Structure 1
């Protein structure tokens, strides 16, 4: 795992190399082992390295050959197969690093052929001096981040905004009020936006192309989720799921440094532990617990560790840690981010990093296999909406549904606003107040990210899963995991998110996904023989913190956690 930073600036002033290196080194937490750079006229490419594969100096980046220079963050899981294919085509390799496959693969297949073949979690930047063109791309799910800045002839990129903010002029980083509205709706800022107008996130499964001579910048997708479902029967689906699960986890166990497991006690991380320990015995596993028993899942994690045979480590999150970690969130994310589960995620990553450099996690399983309770709630709400005549919507509201005091509003709006409220977005009156405060037009469509991912022909549950896969998963869950793990120089691999397993999950029929009328029923059935009953039977809790008082204080003062964070962020910007 690594940190990328670079600048293209053809203006007469050119690139300040010393300043560029300082900006690169703001990412030292992402790559504490080595620092490297490439300086060409008008082009600077910097790299911070966390050595995972080929820890020798041969794996140092940037890598270059015949006018092509590359930097890569992440891991290419199928690099050995691609390397063999490239060697057969006559390409010589000088390291055992997976990153060299990106260099030689681009030279052989071009950027489209390369991205079509890569499997893994990665963000890569390629500068082709022969074409005077820069290419950048992210993995299909959005596990590894990449930000870019384009203003006044300067183009910059980085793994985190802090590196770009350390190089470019503050005057070029104007706050985007619409992005703050987005944050209030989603609790994160969806790609391609950030909190700043000139700073953007490259979306997952996208290629960026920047032509240095003309300044032309384009982005395009290179992969999409499958549309059609397949249903050969439960037994066949179960067997195929197990095959793909085994392959996904096995491929992610490759490492030249110590590797372990983040074990929450939930279904996903437990299934990963069961498969991983068959492939690699003597693994260590790590859990974080809470003294408040209602939130503590360590007994389930311990039961799974005993079943899988891992050397298990547990540490408890203490109440007096909360304030300092809440304050550190700003430094991790560089923009408003309202998912407070980042705090225990950081805590378990810091705990694991004492013993290992790489850890597998279960993130993404709920989006793939239908594990969130809000899928049930949204399905129920949409069914009620269809049954209610337009003139009578909003009467006889069911108290069992969430936010029942807001259902009159929900039932009169489009399905995407209904989904936003089911997911906990702020109410229309409060959003209207914020738009006035930020001088955002009243008709600004804050649901643009949901709208871009929405399939109106899909069932409510499938539509919700697709929305979450394209928004919540990359821009909240995977962002949280990346920043929290990289803050302590831990490479965290979401072991369920291989391309084949993702594509398979989105072709599963709903009767399998919710087998037995249960969330994630098909997945649980498929892995049941590997897990202890105490893990299978306990209710999903989610990885969040108990209320230590600060959350209630935020809500009392501002109305919601995200409103409090937005207010703090705006004040910091205005006073800087």
Structure 2
């Protein structure tokens, strides 16, 4: 497994040998190392910009990367805003790109973090900064880590208050905003393909990947290869739609149908994710990257349509129902029905009671990630009294009171759709599976310019 593990003591002593394959530029007492790709700048410009503006300059970078900036008395680690680049795991003494590296350290005794593992059993993943191992943390996407005077501190460069302050700043008409969005999307693709003479593209047959191949062909007439994954004997397969898009826009197309034997590959999938992880599209991403490798095409960059839905906000119906029930005073009945389901085994079976309880809980808890696993009550029962959770850690500190439906919507949009679903789930699984097969994967809809533009759109436009 490639990557790095390095001690804080070594870096502060200007010993960078443990960083392995990280690229480097240096000058005027500063050294910049990075894994990944910058699309709208160069490493030298990143270093120059840091000298002028400090760590906030990292927010201007469009790319999929992890960077380390080391000076004489302190160092910074920073992950790109959506976490599409390499991960960073850290303890009080070591930094690594992979969690498993800590298990090889002399004197380190792996011990499971019960709260983190219970969180995984509830929502299917372990949100940053927790990991499955006690004493090891991971850096959140868009977060800055600073080591100075032997102390580690972290800071969010993207916070909810700043996000909320910019919403509705856009003064364009709907038509003008649509044109601006299309131009930014094309530019994001142009930046990502660069000088590559062969471009890969994941093609699901849906709007987002279809938008990628359509925009790509407006600016690039070179070699394009596309990849689609379906399920064998699925009457609702989207493979025919992907094939139509491929023929219309002229790509050399490959497809694969999942049939069940892929479960034998779970051990290497889990090794690549580091922390325990479970999400419906994980095997699809794995098979797509394997298909890309097996095709032998060796595209210089592969474009994915991931994350676009979440930038516009999801679960609008449930948000509206929650707000209506809250304002009308009827939420007390929702809570009573939810409480009833906690104590009766009738609600644990696949029947109408289970389904109504599922939808009721989704509406009631719409400011949380989907609870596809065990509830807190079930988890606490499983712990047999040894450990109890009152709330998942990632929910602590989130807003509870809202002055308007717009604030309610944008809280969900930023804190759940973007910070959790995009950063911790969708781009996490896509990027880790690409890394597993050594593919250069990127996501045009996640460009810095598009993020900033969509941040300013009013609710009505989204």
Normalized against structure 2, the TM-score is what?
0.84
The match for 1:405 among 354, 357, 364 is 357
Residue 410 of structure 1: how far off its partner (Å): 7.1
Match of 2:309 in 1: 366
Match of 2:19 in 1: 46
1:294/1:141 Cα in 2 relative to 1: closer, same or farther (>3 Å)? same
The match for 1:207 among 144, 149, 158 is 144
Residue 43 of structure 1: how far off its partner (Å): 5.5
Alignment pair present for 1:431 and 2:379 = yes
Alignment pair present for 1:506 and 2:455 = yes
Match of 2:108 in 1: 170
Does the 8 A contact of 1:377 with 1:401 survive in 2? no
Between the aligned partners of 1:453 and 1:343, the Cα distance in structure 2 is 34
The match for 1:118 among 30, 42, 61 is 61
Does the 8 A contact of 1:188 with 1:476 survive in 2? yes
The match for 1:142 among 71, 78, 83 is 83
Between the aligned partners of 2:188 and 2:90, the Cα distance in structure 1 is 34
1:401/1:103 Cα in 2 relative to 1: closer, same or farther (>3 Å)? farther
Alignment pair present for 1:441 and 2:388 = yes
Does the 8 A contact of 2:38 with 2:63 survive in 1? yes
For 1:386-397, list aligned pairs within 5 A.
386-389=327-330, 392-393=333-334
The match for 1:276 among 211, 216, 220 is 216
1:278/1:47 Cα in 2 relative to 1: closer, same or farther (>3 Å)? farther
Alignment pair present for 1:468 and 2:417 = yes
Between the aligned partners of 1:221 and 1:39, the Cα distance in structure 2 is 23
Match of 2:34 in 1: 72
For 1:124-523, list aligned pairs within 5 A.
124-128=67-71, 130=72, 132-151=73-92, 154=93, 156-167=94-105, 169-171=107-109, 173-211=110-148, 214-224=149-159, 226-227=163-164, 228-229=167-168, 230=170, 232-256=172-196, 258-281=198-221, 282-321=223-262, 323-353=263-293, 354-355=296-297, 356-370=299-313, 372=314, 374-389=315-330, 392-393=333-334, 403-405=355-357, 417-420=365-368, 423-436=371-384, 439-443=386-390, 445-446=391-392, 448-449=394-395, 451-452=397-398, 456-457=402-403, 458-459=405-406, 460-466=408-414, 467-513=416-462
Residue 116 of structure 1: how far off its partner (Å): 4.0
Match of 2:7 in 1: 7
Residue 381 of structure 1: how far off its partner (Å): 3.7
Gaps of 5+ in 2: 339-350
Does the 8 A contact of 1:146 with 1:201 survive in 2? yes
Residue 64 of structure 1: how far off its partner (Å): 3.5
Residue 480 of structure 1: how far off its partner (Å): 0.4
SS for the counterpart of 1:260 is strand
Normalized against structure 1, the TM-score is what?
0.68
String of CA shifts for 1:111-157, please: whole Å, max 9, x gaps. Answer: 425414322222101222x2x21111111222224323223xx2x22
| RMSD (Å), alpha carbons | 3.1
Gaps of 5+ in 1: 11-37, 50-60, 80-97, 514-576
Residue 194 of structure 1: how far off its partner (Å): 1.1
Using CA pairs below 8 Å that are at least 6 residues apart, which structure has the higher relative contact order?
2
The match for 1:109 among 24, 34, 52 is 52
Does the 8 A contact of 2:87 with 2:139 survive in 1? yes
Between the aligned partners of 1:362 and 1:454, the Cα distance in structure 2 is 32
